[in-house]
Copies of this chain bind each other. A is one copy, B any other.
Amino acid sequence: VAAPPHNPRTRRAPTEAEVLDAALALLDAGGPEAATIRRIAAAVDAAPSVVYTYFPEQAAVHRALVERLLAEVAEGAAADVSDHRAGGAPHWPHVVEVLALRLRERLLAHPGAVALVLGDDLSGPSARALGRRLCELMADAGLGADARRGSFLITTYVLGAIALSADAEQFRWGLRRVLGGIGTRN
């Protein structure tokens, strides 16, 4: 019942989301070097050049994948932080810990994407939103001028630990020490 695959008139052009879905599936199945433009195109049953309909170069596909992965984390973060501000207010280190664990979990679900995130300049909307949330938390914690540095330190630690494949226990231990170090007056 499928349409004849070689007639352009019956073949619907793939969506940007379909292209990204295919890229992520290839990334999960075969790591970063499997998520080739040509294979992405083949996965959506199209010519290689269709990818260029949405992305000017391969790096743009990578950026879009990073954005997609960080978007969920950023949304969750927004909710957590406003909960924190409104309600009973657990200690800020706990909120950061939840955030960090969520980010790690999200990335470990797509190990092939780790290299992409590490290579990213984190200038996308979701990366910026995450950084902003962290900054707010640090500022609320009374770090003042050091809030920016503190949030950068946390980001550094979380991504470094993921790059070095820290296990869950090591990750928690290090995170707590980092948070302790930030909280201590120098």
Contacts and interface: CB of A to CB of B under 8 A. Distances in A.
Interface in A149-169: 149-150, 152-153, 155-161, 163-164, 166
Size bin of chain A's contact surface: 20 to 34
A170 B161 CA distance: 18
User: How many chain copies?
Assistant: 2
A72 B156 CA distance: 25
A90 B177 CA distance: 23
Most chain B beta carbons < 10 A, residue from A119, A163, A173, A177: A177
B160 A174 contact: no
Interface in A128-186: 146, 149-150, 152-153, 155-161, 163-164, 166, 170, 173-174, 176-182, 184, 186
A98 interface: no
B174 A153 contact: yes
B174 A156 contact: yes
Nearest to A159: B160
Interface of A: 115, 118-119, 122, 146, 149-150, 152-153, 155-161, 163-164, 166, 170, 173-174, 176-182, 184, 186
